[in-house]
Amino acid sequence: MYRKDYSTKVAELRGWLMSDAKGYDKQVPPISDRQPYKNTDKDGTGRTSCTLTECAPYSAAGTDVAVEVVFYKLDAVDVPHGHLQVKCWMRMYWEDQRLMWNESDPRWEGITKVPFLGASYDAPEASEIWLPDITPYNAIHGLSLSFEPATAQVSSDGKVAWSRAGTLEILCRYSGLVNFPDDLLRCKFDMGGWFISGAYQGVTIKNQGYKIAAESGIVGSSSSYTEQEIKSVTVAVSTVIYEAYPNEPWPTLTYEIELKRADFFYLNFTLLPSIIFSLMSFSVFFMSFEVGERLGFGITLVLVVEVAKQTIQTLVPICGELLWMELFFWVNFLATCLSLLESCVVLGIAYNTEEYFYDLVLPKCISDPLISWYNKSRALVGAGPEEGEEAEDDGESAAAKKLRMLRDGGARESKGLQDVTKGSGIPDAMMKRISFGNSKRVSMDPNADMRSKKEKAADLAEDSGFTLETNDAQKLLYFESLFFKLDPDGDGTITFDEARRLLAFTALTMTKAEIDAKLEAADDGDGLLNRGEFLDLCLANLWNTPLDQLEMAANNFAEFAQMATNRTTAKWRRTANNIDRWCRKWIPILYFIALFVIYMLKFDDHYEDEATPKHTKLAGMTTHIQWPANFWGALGWLCEIMLPLLYFWFAVGIFKVVYTWVMWSLNEAHKRSVQAAKDVGAAIGDKTVLVGGAQKKPSMTENV
């Protein structure tokens, strides 16, 4: 029990300890029994070799200061600027034999502790006793500005305990951010003497050197609704020898704070929505290419994923290192872009009007030679249509083939050959009405191309032998309309292929070689036919053909062109559907495989080692694969979310089972009632009719 005159006795004791007779000087290090020191860390060339063993004391002068930091609560984490702000208590313990007194002395009897004001080592005017020179090397502010002045308690044996509350603001080189948001941020800071070396001030740790207030049950230290919390703290003791002070070691405490992020927020509001949006983008594989909103839907999802990416970038620093979150967003962004690209390809193929794939992807100057080489190579080897495919039309009228067969058949009859027109489907009466004139063949003179255009036209007129009729204007106008039909782009010219196909349907008795010769004769050498050249060609070869026959042939040609267009369209639409079917299966599978690999990737930036240089992208980082620590937790969370839905579908299933059983029971009861009615009706029909209680005998007529 403290006596009433305690305050008076303590004041006298304080005066005696600070008196000139005692010779106390707060600027001079204390007197104590120094203890052997022990290093727990050896790092770099400047460290001593005495590690994990008791080493001899540096000197007998001064005192040893034991440090213990109580981390009360995490205040702020500023990753982009590399700041860490934590509320903590700085506790220091040392021995100063100059402040000892004898408790058995009647003057100080019962006094075990005496308070002395202490501010900071760099503010001696505000302190009453000597204070340790210990400061965090990478703190934004010194201890005098970070921690409040506090009273130091001095015991009778000279042991001093000094505890101050304050906010420690540290400049950190964060490590571990590369695995954001499932990251463990680590921040290091060193504490040691700034003015006083280990020759006069040793630095050790009290107990384990730290306490986490939340784990120690200190009231008010727990946190809620915070993004970061202190997971663990480690302390390492080392000794540094500087070149400027080769004979004075500098003991240092290295604290490493490990912070755990509340990653559920990012899982709930960033990761899962991005995955859902990516899966939604795959729904375009199940849409028909005729759906006009297919492209707009894909573009919208690409923008949504990109907006989510830009939103999360505000929470991480702009740095040169590649973060795990960036890889995750790249996978989702590429998945949605792939869906959009697939839609563009499918729509381009489905509505393509070109016959060959070369025309779709290559310039015409390259695709035309390739197509020509392909057709010639197949013709040389005698390749027909592939298995399962029908032979494609060669662009020639089948009627023309029949007529040439008839013409050639008449020539073969004289040689006793089989009539090639047999079974052709052409009636004998029609065959008798067909007459073939002795048409002239086009000369194959190699110098024919050297003649003038007028000479060619004269030869064409002589070969055709046409005569003017009353419907000349009508036929000329019809020829010109044919040209306009063959020139839909309106460039004023048509190609040989277009004209060749028209003649194959109108000039039925001409072979391919004859058609090619006529085209070359009508051309002026540019490989194209203008309107005048086309009219000359028609005059020379179609003038004597009846107009109704020309109209019918032109209609056949138009229907053939439409059929070819339909065939090409159907082929490309089948290809587009096949691409969609392939993507429906394999793109989601590949996406889930990529996600699984991404979730198993873990990066190590090695920034906890101060000697590690700054990385760029993935250079300098190590990658390893491990099972995600929170995988089952996330899966359980998904199950909890889906639990009401599962209950709903379970209830629906039970209802369906009960409903099915009730309907089956009613149906069976109805069947039994119907069958019973049938049985009763049959039984009534088989009974004999009783009249007046006696059995009626059948009459003679009934027997007959």
593 vs 274, 416, 589, 597, CA distance in Å?
Answer: 16, 74, 6, 6
Residue range(s) defining the domain that contains residue 189: 6-262
Q: What is the CA radius of gyration of the chain?
A: 51
Burial of 444 per CB tally in 10 Å (0-12, 13-18, 19+): exposed
Indicate whether 645 and 531 sit together in one domain: no
Residue with the two structure tokens 């760029």:
616
Indicate whether 27 and 107 sit together in one domain: yes
Indicate whether 177 and 74 sit together in one domain: yes
- Pick the last residue of a domain from 570, 588, 610: 570
On the question of pLDDT at 490 being above 80, the answer is no
Indicate whether 180 and 82 sit together in one domain: yes
Q: Give the strand pairing for 250-261 and 228-240.
A: antiparallel
Give me the CATH number covering residue 478: 1.10.238.10
For residue 520, being part of any structural domain is answered with yes
Indicate whether 520 and 662 sit together in one domain: no
408/258: higher pLDDT: 258
Indicate whether 528 and 666 sit together in one domain: no
H or E element at residue 436: none
Q: Does residue 426 contact residue 499 with C-beta atoms inside 8 Å?
A: no
On the question of pLDDT at 421 being above 60, the answer is no
Give the model's pLDDT for residue 704: 34
Helix, strand, coil percentages for the chain (3-state, nearest 5): 45, 20, 35
Q: What are phi and psi of 308, to 5 degrees?
A: -60, -40
Contacts of residues 567-573 at CB distance under 8 Å and 24 or more positions apart, as own/partner, are: 567/392, 568/352, 568/353, 568/354, 568/355, 569/353, 572/349, 572/350, 572/351, 572/352, 573/289, 573/350
The size of the chain, in residues, is: 704
Indicate whether 534 and 640 sit together in one domain: no
Give the model's pLDDT for residue 169: 92
Of the candidates 249, 254, 230, 192, the residue with the CA atom closest to the CA atom of residue 65: 192
Tokens at 641, concatenated: 């979310």
- Pick the last residue of a domain from 227, 262, 297: 262
Neighbours of 236 (CB within 10 A): 18
For residue 118, being part of any structural domain is answered with yes
For residue 282, being part of any structural domain is answered with no
- What is the mean pLDDT of the segment spanning 575-590? 93
Q: What percentage of residues in the chain have a pLDDT greater than 90?
A: 22
How does pLDDT run across 265-308, given as a tens digit for each residue?
A: 888 888 888 899 999 999 999 998 888 788 899 999 999 988 88
Indicate whether 429 and 510 sit together in one domain: yes
557/445: higher pLDDT: 557
Give me the CATH number covering residue 220: 2.70.170.10
How does pLDDT run across 622-636, given as a tens digit for each residue?
A: 776 766 555 566 566
Give the model's pLDDT for residue 335: 94
Q: Does residue 150 contact residue 97 with C-beta atoms inside 8 Å?
A: no
Preceding amide of 132 cis, omega within 30: no
For residue 281, being part of any structural domain is answered with no
| 210 vs 688: CA distance, rounded Å | 112
**Number of folded domains that form the chain:** 3
Sign of CA dihedral 684, 687, 689, 692: negative
For residue 496, being part of any structural domain is answered with yes
For residue 384, being part of any structural domain is answered with no
Which residues lie below 8 Å from residue 325, measured CB to CB, with a gap of 6+?
A: 180, 181, 312, 316
Indicate whether 518 and 652 sit together in one domain: no
On the question of pLDDT at 449 being above 60, the answer is no
Of the candidates 144, 148, 93, 99, the residue with the CA atom closest to the CA atom of residue 123: 144
How does pLDDT run across 107-128, given as a tens digit for each residue?
A: 888 888 999 999 888 888 889 9
- What is the mean pLDDT of the segment spanning 145-174? 91
Tokens at 450, concatenated: 């050297």
For residue 562, being part of any structural domain is answered with yes
For residue 620, name the pLDDT band (cuts at 50, 70, 90): low
Indicate whether 547 and 664 sit together in one domain: no
Indicate whether 125 and 251 sit together in one domain: yes
For residue 312, being part of any structural domain is answered with no
- Pick the last residue of a domain from 536, 570, 604: 570
Is the full-model pTM beyond 0.75? no
CA 619 to chain centre: 22
Indicate whether 549 and 638 sit together in one domain: no
Q: What mean pLDDT, rounded, does the chain reach?
A: 77
